[in-house]
Structure formats: structure tokens, C-alpha cells
Chain A
Amino acid sequence: MSLAIAGMGWVTPLGNGVDPVWEQLLQGYEAATTRVSEEFGDRSYSAFRVPEFTLATLGPHPRLRRASLISRFAAAAGLEALQAAGVKLDSQSAERIALVFAISNGGVIYTKRFYRDIVETGAQSASPLLFPETVFNAPASHLAAILGITGATYTLVGDSAVGLLAIKMADDLMANEALDYCLVVGAEEADWLLCDAYRRWRLLRLTPPVEPFNEKKRGMILSEGAGAVLLARLPRRSAAEARDGPVAIECAHPGMSYRRRPEAEEVLKRILRDLSQVEIDFVISSANGTFIDHAECEALRQTIPDAFVYTVKPALGESVGAAGLWQVIAGTQALRSGELPPLLHAGPTIPLRTSASRTSLSGARHAIVLSCGINQQVAGLRLRKSSQAATGSELSIQ
């Protein structure tokens, strides 16, 4: 079953809004990092944070008064996706839309605050206001309440592949004719504690840049924000869908897992082979400067060497739970606009078809979004631009 991408929403360290963020990426901009520190740690780290002004337009919904950043990011992205699709929910339609929420680390800021009080002062100081925000499905609950969704709401937890797994889940849910739409949202918030944990895991570098496909695997920089994609069955068309262009998720792979890092390459190759039954014009990779880059590079080189490869992570960072949605948005925008942004901080010896400058993809019809998670999960999907919108098959570099 193909699912139309009827609307999208994007909250990133480069600001919010799909078109403005995309334009900045096309121009080769990279978000600025912020130093984050903590009172009990002598280390500080770099993180890509969402600028404060980004959430200024978010309405004063009661659920957001004390909600964590992750919930605010999700609300802003979800509302933008529905607005872009021209979808307004009433009591009837609210039962016919499902919400699938992708998350990895969850509400870590409030969880840390809640547990810090317990560690420092004792159980008697635990806050009943903070505890509900520590559960993984708190952001999804807030978003469902804001949108008025009364049907199916799911929170999926995983590594940076979870966003694509959430889209696969949406694909499965949409097999039920009782649903008109499925809103898939991925969100994450950055915090010193996460930076420290990933650093001890030897996956994080202390300062930018993120260097994709670099043999030295210097590590990633954590990021935060949200991405939202509203999926609809293809025959259903809204005004905004027509505006956004007919890009569809043609095939969502159910995903796989690898046990040890060296096995990731083989798993990626199997997924790429499943998804590349048609000619693939470009791939939105999940390369983030860690060990997964080598696995992705080898799998891509051996499976679809002619496809262009782009990763958004040098510009926006590794947003883990939100990352898969960001990749889908980037892939959709590249198909719609017929352009890929310049790949930042990539060396000249990468054995893949990449470009350090803006690349025209005027006839591109098929793209793969590939996500190799840092904790054993792998997922992928194929995007398709409808044939009437495609004008040719040539690819060129400006």
C-alpha cells in the first residue's frame, strides 16, 4: 500500500517550518552548537539546540503549561503537519486519525530533575508534577490532547531507526479502513546527561563538525527537535497535499536488527536490496560520524553505487528519536524541489556519489531513506514522486 505524504512539520536547530529549514539546508547552512554543562560534571559538551524563538508561535494550550521541551517540539511539528494538509479535526474525524510517536531518550530533562530530587533529598521530595512527564508516552499524550485525537495513539521506543519503524507501524495501521490519516511524529530533547552517556559510549565528539563517512569515526553531536509527517491513502487528496506535491511512501521495510556492529553492513545490504527493486535516484542516509557510517557506506557502495547520497546530520545533528522523520522530510523535499542540499564536512575520498554543492535532481522519482540505529535497529523505506510530476531522469550537479 502506498501512502501519500499529505503534510509535514519540522522543528530543528535551524528553526521551524518545512520550507524555511529546507531553504537553509539547500544554501548549505549548518546549525550553531551550544555548550551544555552540568553542576556535578566537569565535562561540557556541544549540542545542537532548538532556538527559543522557534516555539514562540505555539498557542497557550493548558497541556503545555508545564510540559517538557520535547512535548512542545512535538506539538509545534504536529500542528504544522495538520495545517499543511488542511486537516481540521472534529469529534468524528478525531476517531479516524491515529497518532504514532517515535521516541528514543524521551523526556530526559524532567526525568533527571525528578530523580535528582530523590537522590539528593530522598523519596519524600519526589514531585508528583514531574513524574507523569517521565513516562515515554507523555509527549504523545499531550499532542493527542492538543489535537483532540481520541482513536489510536502509540508511542514507539527505539534507537535512531525508530522514526522509520514508526512509519512502518503507521503503514500497518492504515491497513484498517477505519482510519483516514496517521500522524507520525518523532521528537527528542538534548541534555547534558545524554551527551555524557553517549560520550562514555564512545559515540559522541566534543565539538563539531559532524564528519559523515569519515574513516576516523570521530563521533556525532546530539541534537533536538521534532518532525511530523501526516500520511493518507493515496486516492484521498487535500488542498495542501496538492500544494506539497504528490510524494508517497511506496514501500516501508519492516526493519531488522543486528547483533554486533560488524553485522550492520549485511543487514543494511539486505534492506537496500529489498527497497531497490526500482531505479533509485538518491538515498537519505543516517550517517552521523559514528561506526554506522562505514556500514552504510559499504552497503550503499555495493548495492546502489549510482545513487546520490545525502545526510542531514552534519547540518542538524543526531536527533535520535526525531532523526528518521527528519530524513523522510528531507527526502520528500528533495523529490518535491528536485534538489539535494550540499553534503557538509564530507571528505573527498568517500566512495559514494556525494556532492559538496547543491545538486539538481530534476527528474528524480525514487529515493530511499535508510536508518541504521546506534543500538542495533535498522530500517528503511522508499519514497516515490508521482510520474506526472517527474519531467525526466537526468541528474546534474550545479
Chain B
Amino acid sequence: MSYGQDYYRSLCRNGNLRRSPTWVANYTAQKPVIDAQEAFGISAPCQVIANACASGTNAIGHAYECVRSGRYQRVLTGGYDALSELVFVGFDSLQASTAEKCRPFDRDRTGMVLGEGAAVLALENLDVARERGAPVLAEIIGYGISTDNFHMTQPNPSGIGPRQAMQRALQSARLPADKIDYINAHGTATLFNDAAEGKAISELFDHVPVSSTKGMMGHSLGAAGAIEAIICLLALQHQFLPPNINFRAQDEGVDLNIVANDARPMGLRTVLSNSFGFGGTNASIVIQKFHLRQGYGGQVGA
């Protein structure tokens, strides 16, 4: 995005456009992926999913389905985003961002704080991973996607979009809701998201521990789902509940078991991670601690 901004500002101000071919060539969304391939010395098919803030989870979910179908053995998948003036001002214009602390699910939340970053996961067919002796960090066992046609930037207050995504992820994992030990929520700390997501979680689950880690790292948009998937992996690996910091008081009308302010040790086996985005796109993945056992049918190691 910053290349595009530099280009446009230079145009407006009759500035130096000597570098403009480089700006234009590097502006395209797929360029970081192709550059990364070159750096890693690989040449594989690549797809760049741009589903706004759900992109990271969509990418992992779609990669999971590609491996599960048997069409692909290994997929590198993830998300990336960098701060830019256009996006920063855009969220401010929507009154979605705050100058204060980011307080997901708090009664007095005032909005999101933007972040940036990247995260990449290597997904591999479990049998193939075991055959080559790869350390398996966890298994992805379910993915759900839904589209909420309510509004371009606001979720349906009923929570139907998040609820459908989570239900479909559970169906995909062939698990009942009570088998989920922890939810890493989208939890942007905006009024609308947290109300709709909180409603959907409280309707589907019975006091499952919930936290949004965006209070600690900000909302990294396209990268968020991938970063939060890795937080889930670490939670499974180290058996703890990541905290929902800056939390002071429960929102009225929403009954959530928030992991308030401090991490807690917890025996975790199966976790769910949510990401929702502009345009009403919703995605959820289910991740399970890896156990050596018989019968791996269809599972995907990460």
C-alpha cells in the first residue's frame, strides 16, 4: 500500500517519479508472495486471498481443505499486512479505531488499535509429515466460512455470520461445541464486532474460555488470522490460555468466560480461532493438539 501512496503523492505534487516503475511493480498484492518464493528458492502455485480481515484464517482454512482433499501434500499459508496512511485514516473515518487502549469485549471498549506483521504456517498431510519425521506442532481439523450480507462494514447484530462460520468449522471437524476448550476471538474491541461475536459464542458454547489477543498486538488485518493461529498453536503447545488484556467489566447482555488480563494454565486439547472482515466475510478454524494415535484419516498437520 505504501508504494501506491508514494506514487500518488508524487503525482499530486509533481514530485520525483524516477522510481515510479519500481513503486508500481511492487504495489501489487501478490508481489510479497512471489518475492518470498524467490527468497526460499521455491516455485509453487500461489493464490492470494484478499478477504479483508478474515484473509489470514481464510488462507489457512483453504490450504487445509486443499491438503485434506489429497490434491496437495504441503502448503505454505499465512497472512501479511503493513500499516499505511490510507488504511489508518480509513478506520479512523469509520470511528472504528481508538486513541485509547484496545479493550476487547469490555463494556467500555472504544475501538481497535491497528497493528502489522506476518505469520506463515506449513501445512502438510499428516501421514507424509510423519513419514519424513517432521515435528508436528498441531493438527488443523476443521474450517468454516460464511458470508453475512448485512452491511459492508458492520456484522449482522444477530451474530448469524460468526455463528454460521463456527458451526461449519465444528461440522467440518465433526466435533460438538463442548469439545472446544478455548476460543481465540476476532475481538477487535469495536462495539459492533464484539457484540455480534460475543452473542454468537454465548449461543453456541457453554462458558468456554474466550480471549482476544488484539489488545496485546493490535489488529493486523490480513495478517491477524495467521498470527492468532500461531498464538493458538503456542497455547496448545504450552497448555495455557492467552489473556484478554485491558479488560475491566463484562459487557451487559453478553455472558462470556473472558480470560481476563492474565494468562492461565489450562489443559487444552482443541481450540477454535475466529476472523471476520469487511464485506461480511467470516472464517473459523479448529486446531487440535497432536497426539500419536491410530487412524489419521483426513487430518492436516501444522
Tell me the A residues contacting B by CB distance below 8 Å: 40-41, 99, 103-104, 111-112, 114-116, 118-120, 123, 126-128, 131-138, 140-142, 144-145, 148-159, 165, 168-169, 172-173, 175-176, 193, 196-198, 200-202, 254-257, 259, 375-377
CB <8 Å contact, B71 and A175: yes
A137 near B52 with CB under 8 A, answer yes
CB pair B149–A172 under 8 Å, yes or no, is no
A137-B65 contact in complex given A123-B89, A197-B7, A254-B45, C-beta closer than 8 Å:
no
The reply to whether B30 and A141 form a contact with Cβ atoms under 8 Å apart is no
Q: Do the beta carbons of B21 and A136 come within 8 Å of each other?
A: no
Could you tell me the dominant secondary structure of chain A's interface residues? mixed
Task: Give the distance to chain B from A258, nearest Cβ to Cβ, in Å.
Answer: 8
Q: Which residue of the partner chain, among B20, B89, B149, B278, contacts A148 with CB atoms under 8 Å?
A: B149
Are B29 and A158 interface neighbours, CB within 8 A? yes
Complex: chain A residue closest to B164, CB-CB: A150
Given A137-B50, A150-B148, 12 other A-B residues pairs in contact with their CB atoms under 8 A:
A111-B86, A132-B278, A138-B152, A138-B279, A141-B278, A151-B145, A153-B51, A155-B50, A159-B30, A172-B66, A193-B8, A375-B25
CB <8 Å contact, B24 and A201: yes
Cα separation A141 to B278 with both chains bound (whole Å): 8
Find A256's partner among B20, B31, B43, B94 (CB 8 Å cutoff).
Answer: B43
Output the least CB separation between B18 and chain A (Å). 10
Contacts of B52 in A (CB 8 A): 135-137
What is the minimal beta-carbon distance from A311 to any residue of chain B, in angstroms? 22
Complexed CA–CA distance, A176 and B52 (Å): 24
A selection of 28 A-B contacts at a CB cut-off of 8 Å is A40-B14, A111-B86, A115-B5, A118-B89, A126-B93, A128-B95, A134-B86, A136-B52, A137-B52, A137-B277, A138-B279, A141-B280, A144-B279, A150-B164, A151-B145, A151-B146, A158-B29, A159-B28, A176-B65, A197-B27, A198-B24, A200-B20, A202-B21, A257-B43, A257-B46, A375-B25, A377-B34, A377-B46
Which residue on chain B has the smallest CB distance to residue A202? B21
Q: Which of A104, A141, A201 is close to B281, meaning CB atoms less than 8 Å apart?
A: A141
Residue of B nearest to A122 (CB): B89
On chain B, which size bracket covers the interface? 35 or more
Interface-central residue, B49, B66, B91, B95, by most chain A CB under 10 Å: B49
Q: Are B147 and A144 in contact (CB under 8 A)?
A: yes
Distance (whole angstroms) from the CB of B16 to the closest CB of chain A = 12
Chain A contacts of B31 at CB under 8 A?
375-376
Interface centre among A99, A131, A134, by most chain B C-beta atoms within 10 angstroms, is A131
Verify A119–B50 contact, CB threshold 8 A. no
Q: Specify which chain B residues have a CB less than 8 angstroms from the CB of A176 in the assembled complex.
A: 65, 69
A172 touches B71 (CB 8 A): yes
CA distance A375 to B29 in the complex (A): 10
In angstroms, Cα B168 to Cα A176, docked, is 13
Asked if residues B11 and A40 are in contact (CB atoms below 8 Å), the reply is yes
Q: Whole-angstrom distance between the alpha carbons of A142 and B147 in the complex?
A: 11
- Bound state CA distance, A172 and B62, in angstroms? 9
How far is B56's CA from A96's CA once the two chains are assembled, in angstroms?
23
| Cβ contact within 8 Å between B50 and A156 | yes
Give CA–CA (A133, B20) in the complex, Å. 25
B134 within 8 A of A: no
Question: Which single member of A118, A142, A173, A375 contacts B30 (CB below 8 Å)?
Answer: A375
Most chain A beta-carbon contacts within 10 A, residue among B14, B65, B85, B281: B281
Q: From residue A23, how far is it (CB to closest CB) to chain B in Å?
A: 35
Q: Are B147 and A156 in contact (CB under 8 A)?
A: no
Q: Which 3 A-B pairs give the minimum distances between C-beta atoms? A: A141-B279, A254-B45, A136-B50
Q: How many A-B residue pairs have CB under 8 A?
A: 176
A146 to B47, CA, bound (A): 26
> Are B149 and A128 touching (Cβ within 8 A)?
no
B9 in contact (CB, < 8 A):
yes
Chain A contacts for B51, CB-based, 8 A:
137, 153-155
Beyond A119-B9, A257-B43, whether A149 also contacts B50 by CB under 8 A is: no
Q: CB within 8 Å of A: which of B36-68?
A: 37-38, 43-52, 58, 62, 65-66
Of the candidates B38, B62, B92, B279, the one having the most CB atoms from chain A within 10 angstroms of its own CB is B279
A115 to B50 CA separation, bound complex (whole angstroms) = 20
| Chain A CB within 8 A of B99 CB | no
In this complex, what residue of A is CB-closest to B11?
Answer: A40
Contact between B94 and A165, CB atoms less than 8 A apart: no
- CB-defined contacts of B30 to chain A, threshold 8 Å: 157-159, 375-377
Do B25 and A119 touch (CB < 8 A)? no
A residues in contact with B122, CB < 8 Å: none
For window 85-122 of chain B, which residues contact chain A by CB distance below 8 Å? Answer: 85-86, 89-95
Q: Is B12 an interface residue (CB 8 A)?
A: yes
Could you tell me if B58 and A154 are in contact, using CB atoms closer than 8 angstroms?
A: yes
B263 CB within 8 Å of chain A? no
List B contacts of A127 (CB < 8 A).
93
How many angstroms from the CA of A151 to the CA of B29 in the assembled complex?
25
Q: Which residues of A contact B37 (CB under 8 A)?
A: 257
Are B49 and A154 in contact (CB-based, < 8 A)? Answer: yes
Let me know if A153 and B147 touch, CB within 8 A: yes
Q: Contacts of B261 on A, CB cut-off 8 Å?
A: none
CB pair B12–A120 under 8 Å, yes or no, is yes
A370–B79 CA distance with the chains assembled, in angstroms: 28
Beyond A175-B69, A201-B21, A375-B30, whether A137 also contacts B46 by CB under 8 A is no
A381 to B84, CA, bound (A): 37
Across the interface, which residues of B come within 8 angstroms of A159, CB to CB?
28, 30
**Is A152 touching B149 in the complex (CB atoms < 8 A)?**
no
- Closest approach, in angstroms, between the C-beta of B20 and any C-beta of chain A? 4
Docked pose: A138 CA to B153 CA in angstroms: 10
- A115-B149 contact, Cβ under 8 Å, with A156-B48, A200-B17, A375-B28: no
A41: nearest residue on chain B (CB-CB)? Answer: B11
In the complex, chain B residues whose CB is within 8 Å of the CB of A103: 50
Q: Which of B109-165 contact A (CB under 8 A)?
A: 145-149, 152-153, 164
CA distance A197 to B22 in the complex (A): 10
Contact between A126 and B50, CB atoms less than 8 A apart? no
Give min CB distance, B225 to chain A, whole Å: 14
* Residues in A whose Cβ lies below 8 Å from that of B28: 104, 157-159, 375
